[in-house]
Structure 1
Amino acid sequence: MKRSIRPCHDRAIAVAAAFALAVSGAIAAVAPTAAAAPSATIANSASVSVDAALQLATIPATGVGINTAVFDAAMNDSATPGLLRDAGMGAVRYPGGSHSDHYHWKTGTAEGGAYVAPNTGFDAFMGTMRAAGTQPIITVNYGSGTPQEAADWVRYANLTKGFGIKYWEVGNEVYGNGLYSNGNGWEYDTHSSKTATTYATNLVQYIDAMKAVDPTVKIGAVLTTPGSWPDGIVGPGDTMDWNHTVMSIAGSKIDFTIVHTYPAGTSQADLLTRPQTEIPQIAGALRSLINQYAGTNAPNVGIAVTEANTTTYRDTSPNGLFAPDTFLTWMENGAFNVDWWALHNGVDCTNLTQVEGATEYNDYGIVSSGASCEPPANTPFPAYYGTAMVGKLGKPGDTLVKAASSNSLLTAHAVRRANGDVAVMLINKDPRNDATVNLSYTGFTASSATPTVYSYLKNGHSIGTAQSGSPTTQTVPAYGITVVEMHPTSAPCRVVYNKNQWPGGMVGSITVVNNSLGQVNGWALGFNFPGDTAITSSWDATVTQSGPSVNAGNVSYNASIPQGGSASWGFKATWSGSNANPSAFWVNGAACAIG
């Protein structure tokens, strides 16, 4: 079993107070960073196909988040709300990593010598959150706390203050309490028994106490990351590994599962493959555990990644590419929350390297802590800009759709927006060569107008905006990120085609939008399936099918579509060889744009 390299914010608690003055209260990150750059070995061209009808997920309001910690004296700086808003942070986790299992929220103090910076208490934190317009995700103290202390926090936050905080997790990396490492753990845990059975049993008590105060809160369970140490190991005192033990006891009570991911790339090129090679497997293993143990509630149990970063190339251009790829791949695979570690963290100024022409400070913060060797405090690092590019692609409520690239060094993500626009993110992981990208679409007809393009370039200090390229051809600079924003073809009507499919079956929905048909009193929609899709049932329309040809008409209650309005209907279908999307639609004889 592979063992993950632990980030140093979890190992440095004992030195936090001494280091605080040097780095504005942040804990040092001292892991060494490799600086060797990969050579460019493949062609600098790619074909990207976008299926705007194949939905992967809806962007959640809490999808893009970040950690902040009570050791961070700059947590509530005047600059913080703007930094969070500009990066599109919809969630902020508090009170911060391993500190969460030391910290007592009522007194603003921490056990075991853990440092707490001034002005980082819960009320001060919430003032910043309200100014930023973000949702808190609270980690209650499992290591040295009690279910009553956690319930009191819920009462104060949601009943006394009316904050309406929805998401709460019980403990940080509790499996790091020494159970699997001969007592030498990084997580503070004062329980006499440190088994997974003990955590799960206590977790149920926390859930009961917290939901007795506010039944609407959602509470998560700490799991080990599938495929990383100590996943799969049966600890002394348990009969199964951590995840199976916790889920077998508490799986029917929890609202979400929690993992942390810190891949350590052996090279820049290796690191940049990790979102695609690791995240789907981790998410699949978590979903399997949820389905096994959560019973009938399994479809409602979510996945949260409450810490994410890498242990290499943290402050330089590789991480600027890794960050958006990580956020988007996790959301495409079902995570409702991903929280970057962290807003500010700290640095070891004695161990600096150069990566792609920039200084690697070994700082887990997404912005500078202002240490002596760093840029001024709150200066964004590349991961900050990479994260902000996610917001250029899509907003909460927009739909992530399928995008595929022919080139392993060119990764693509796509979104269909609520207004019918389609946007595509292109990430060029070649550090030397620009990429010429040819784009094609199904389920969307792009206007021929020059698209709006957002770009973040290697070692850049801002995000650029321009009108450039075309909907079918774009050039992405080496180690750059481009978001291409396109509008649908202007037409008297527009059709939005969505599907969720599985081998042999599917559920589809179709929305007809009246752009300029005038008042419609009765509509007929026609289209052809390119494959062998056969509709078996439908709703909100009368449907007939002859071979590949489908005709759908209104029912009594949706016959009227005013100009600017829409009507929707849905269907179930079977297929065997091909479930390809229709390439053309017409309403009352008029050809419609798609998307």
Structure 2
Amino acid sequence: MSGKIPRKPVGVLLALAGVIGTGTLASAPQATAASAASAVSVTVNGTAGLGSIPGGAIGLNTAVYDSNMNDTPIPGLLKAAGINALRYPGGSYSDIYNWQTNVAQGGYDAPNTSFANFMGTAQAASASPVITVNYGTGTPALAASWVQNATVTNKYGVSYWEVGNEVYGNGTYGANWETDAHCQTSSGTPVTVGSEPSQTYGCGPGTYATNVLSYMSAMKAVSSNAHVCAVLTTPGGWPDNVTNPQTSPLPWNQTVLTALGAKTDCVIVHYYPGGSSAAAMLTATSQISGIVSTVKSEISQYAKVDPASVPILVSEANSNVDMDTQPNALFAADMYMTWLENGVSNVDWWDEHNGPGTNPPSIVNGAQDYGDYGIFSSGGNNSGVTEPAVETPFAPYYGIEMLSKLGGPGDTMVNSTSSNALVRVHAVRRAGGNLDLLIDNEDPGTSYTVNLAYNGFTPTGSPTVFTFANNGNSITSTTQSSASSVTVAPYTLTVVQVPGSGGGGVTAPGAPGQPTVSGLSSSTSGNSSGVATLTWPPATAGTYPVANYQVYRQSSGGGSTLVGTTSATTLNLSGLTIGAAYTYDVVAVDSHGNPSLPSPPVTFTVPPPSNASCAVHYAISSSWSGGFGAAITVTNRAATAVNGWTLTFSWPDSGEAVQSGWNGTWSQTGSTVTVANAAWNGTIAASGGTASVGFNGTDTGQDPAPTVFALNGTVCANN
């Protein structure tokens, strides 16, 4: 129906999209002319595990202003697509919504959209609820009463509770779409949306973090198992790295995570890439690994907890280009899997129904686009073109449904690579041993013959091939005799289900459990002095007993190297490079040589030696869009003074660079930065003397901290 309420002002959406998409246009692959099928090589590494698909991973947003939220067909449609999580009560409405009265202050509540109505649909669809409590105009007590109703009274099994929606949109950084009653003027007068940042106080990230702790205390007092999640800015997207002298002198994420510290329970980011073309939008998923890596780095650096223990949720995601047509279906499938392969726990598409946009509609490759962020039609007409009947699925629905052909909760994602950037691939090993492969042909003009190669997996039968064709309105399937190649048409999604090991009445061992790392350290004896011990829960025997475990080190190019075989459930590692990141997984092998699926991977970075003769403290002191400032303090721990010094380090992100510095002579070659003492600070006193330098730098949205600093060639400890 018409008259749907947008999730936030369109101008803000476009601003977000413009920042997140920065830098993608120049490198976006160009469509090639239609031609006979070209060859692409795809390799799947069955021993390189990327973790199991979590339960409740494939999510969708709902909204209390949506009168079609709980329509009779909805549960069946959601189940058919494999959607197993639902977020409620709907974006920015979360910060004005009272769950007890089903009233959104200043907004519209559609009939039959109460929490009880929502839960009826969620349960009928077997979907896990993700709930956003009212931070903007609510209280910790109101949130705790919701936990009481959901968890204790009705036992709905809500695992994740967000504290507010996009709280950074409360005026702190000049954009005002999120209601926040914590804001006030300098004279103490309360203000909410619409305040100028220079006049707004009390609503920055420090205030938010303090209140999150209050919400967390109240909610966990009701249910200690509730994950209470804090809102973070998405690395690379506005307003990440933006500061405000009055309310946010340091970046949002740094402020929030430092305040939460060891109580950091789970974190939320949102994801709306776009740009001005389908090609730019489709390449944006390459940013995801860097986003996750940066969030984990910030959790470690500022909260000082193991990021592996902190779930990351992407509770809103969509593109801003060709929303209802084939490019967004391609984006949806690739986007979900890329987030999950990088370790996030849940991704929620925006949204179930949203209504058509108000801009003139467009035709995309022969298909009508309505500018509707929903996966189902609302039947409305806001721009001169009427949508199809209510509940008609748009293309992204089928893109999501294709994931149900690829794998489900508990199945193991494994590494796969493609020789063509326009042909994106994702692979999953099923519990029975079969391998499923998603092929996302993002080229609008070229068919490809995809030649398939397998490591650590042997096909044993005829594959089933599922296809969602360009401008299709259903998913088709067929079988083929060959497991070594498949042809994919332009702008199509293809899932190839390949039978493999696990047949013939022989059951392989179960996958070993998640490895953990202990004894991780290094020494001053050399750059490759790192040591660690991997330990993992044992595998469950199949038809035959487990004989040994094979430990693999994964490489960035998708390959893996066998580094050890042991009959124990532990392996010592040595010769590790200081500052380098390593990823390992484990495969169990039974007495007849049958391998298990790989364990979930473990990733760690080798720290500098704690007993080094110098120590370095690195901290971002200010930031803005496209740049940041940082301060570095060097401490001399030795018993003798340092006379004349040079400090070196390397950037972990290729977009980081020093622009100008002070208290020393700065230079940069490639990713390596060197700063030499000034004429007046060349001596660092013995036994605790310090020298301080600083710089302003540039970035492309992400600025993780360097991992290794060396003073006059000697690696320093992190302080």
- Establish whether TM, by shorter chain, passes 0.5: yes
Match of 1:535 in 2: 564
**1:247-272 residue CA offsets vs partner (Å, 9 max, x unmatched):** 11114223211010100133222211
Separation of aligned partners in 1, 2:155 and 2:481 = 49
Distance 1:28 1:347 in 2: 14
Matched, 1:188 2:179: yes
Could you give the per-residue CA deviations for residues 376-412 of structure 1, whole angstroms, max 9, x where no partner exists? 1111111100001111100000011000000111011
SS in 2 for 1:305: strand
Which residue does 1:166 correspond to in 2?
159
Q: How much has 1:190 moved relative to structure 2?
A: 1.3
SS class of match (2:415): strand
Deviations 1:496-550 (A, max 9, x none): 68797999987789969766xxxx6x786799999985537542xxxxxxxxxxx
2:86 paired with 1:97? no
Aligned equivalent of 2:123 = 130
The one-letter code matched in structure 2 to 1:406 is: S
Paired with 1:338 and 1:574, the residues of 2 have a C-alpha distance of 37
Instruction: Specify the alignment match of 2:273 in structure 1.
Output: 263
Q: CA deviation at 1:105?
A: 0.6
Aligned partner of 2:710 in structure 1 is none
Aligned partner of 2:375 among 348, 366, 371: 366
2:51 is equivalent to residue 39 of structure 1: no
Between the aligned residues of both structures, percent identity stands at: 42
Q: Distance in 2 between matches of 1:81 and 1:246?
A: 37
Of residues 79, 97, 107, the one that matches 1:85 is 79
Q: 1:151 to 1:586 in 2, by over 3 A?
A: closer
Q: Deviations over 1:249-299 (max 9, x none)?
A: 1142232110101001332222111112x1011101100111123334543
Cα distance change, pair 349–144 in 1 and its aligned pair in 2 (3 A): closer
For 1:60 and 1:171, the matched residues in 2 are separated by 24
Q: Secondary structure at the match of 2:242?
A: coil
Match of 1:459 in 2: 471
Structure 1 runs (4+) deviating above 4 angstroms are 23-34, 489-515, 522-534, 569-588, 591-595
SS of the equivalent of 2:387 reads coil
Residue equivalent to 2:635: none
How far off its partner does 1:233 sit?
1.3
Task: Choose which of 232, 238, 241 in structure 2 pairs with 1:232.
Answer: 241
TM-score by length of structure 1 reads 0.82
1:160-186 Cα offsets, whole Å, 9 max, x none, are 2221211100000000001111xx401
- Tell me how far apart the structure 1 counterparts of residues 314 and 567 of structure 2 sit (CA, whole Å): 38
Which structure 2 residue ranges, 5 or more long, are not aligned?
19-27, 185-201, 518-529, 553-558, 598-719
Higher relative contact order (CA 8 A, sep 6+): 1
Q: Does 1:476 align with 2:476?
A: no
Q: Using the alignment, how far apart are the partners of 1:61 and 1:431 within structure 2?
A: 33
Distance across 2 between alignment mates of 1:406 and 1:523: 36
Alignment CA distance shift 1:117-1:444 (3 Å): same
Check 1:179–1:349 CA distance in 2 against 1; reply closer, same or farther (3 A cut).
closer
The question of 1:115 aligning with 2:108 is answered: yes
Counterpart of 1:558 in structure 2 is none
The equivalent of 2:441 in structure 1 is 428
Structure 2 contact 548–565 (Cα < 8 Å) conserved:
no
The answer to whether the aligner puts 1:67 opposite 2:61 as a matched pair is yes
Q: Take 1:510 and 1:469, find their aligned partners in 2: how far apart are those partners? A: 37
Q: Deviations over 1:193-235 (max 9, x none)?
A: 2111111101100000011111110010001111111111122
CA deviations over 1:7-53 (Å, ceiling 9, x no partner): xxxxxxxxxxxxxx62567779968999x995316983210110111
8 Å Cα contact 1:428/1:481 also seen in 2: yes
Alignment deviations for residues 47-106 of structure 1 (CA, whole Å, 9 cap, x no partner): 011011111121011211000000100001001111211111111000000000010111
Work out the CA distance in 2 between the residues paired with 1:179 and 1:420.
51
One-letter code of the match for 2:41? S
SS in 1 for 2:108: coil
Taking the aligned partners of 2:140 and 2:551, their CA distance within structure 1 comes to: 59
The whole-number CA distance in structure 2 between the counterparts of 1:528 and 1:237 is: 49
Matched, 1:54 2:48: yes
Letter in 2 for 1:52: G
2:333 corresponds in structure 1 to 324
- For 1:504 and 1:175, locate their aligned partners in 2 and report how far apart those are by CA, in whole Å: 41
Conserved? CA contact 1:178–1:185, under 8 Å: yes
Alpha-carbon distance in structure 2 between the residues aligned to 1:106 and 1:480:
45
Q: Residue 282 of structure 2 aligns with which residue? A: 272
Q: Are residues 538 and 289 of structure 1, via their aligned partners in 2, closer, same or farther at CA, if it must alter by over 3 Å?
A: farther
Task: Please tell me the residue identity of whatever aligns with 1:468.
Answer: Q
Q: Does 1:151 align with 2:117?
A: no
User: Size of the alignment, in residue pairs?
Assistant: 533
CA contact (8 A) 2:547 2:567 kept: no
Distance 1:536 1:385, change over 3 A: closer
Amino acid across the alignment from 2:171: G
State the secondary structure of the residue aligned to 1:273: helix
How far off is 1:363 after superposition?
Answer: 0.3
Contact 2:130 2:161 in 1 (8 A): yes
Equivalent position SS for 1:138? strand
TM-superposed deviation, 1:333: 0.6
| Residue 385 in structure 1 maps to residue 398 in structure 2 | yes
Instruction: Kindly state the Cα deviation for residue 423 of structure 1 after the two structures are TM-superposed.
Output: 0.6
Give me the CA root mean square deviation.
3.5
5+ long unaligned stretches in structure 1: 1-20, 540-568
> Distance in 2 between the 1:85 and 1:199 partners?
36
In structure 2, the partner of 1:410 is 423
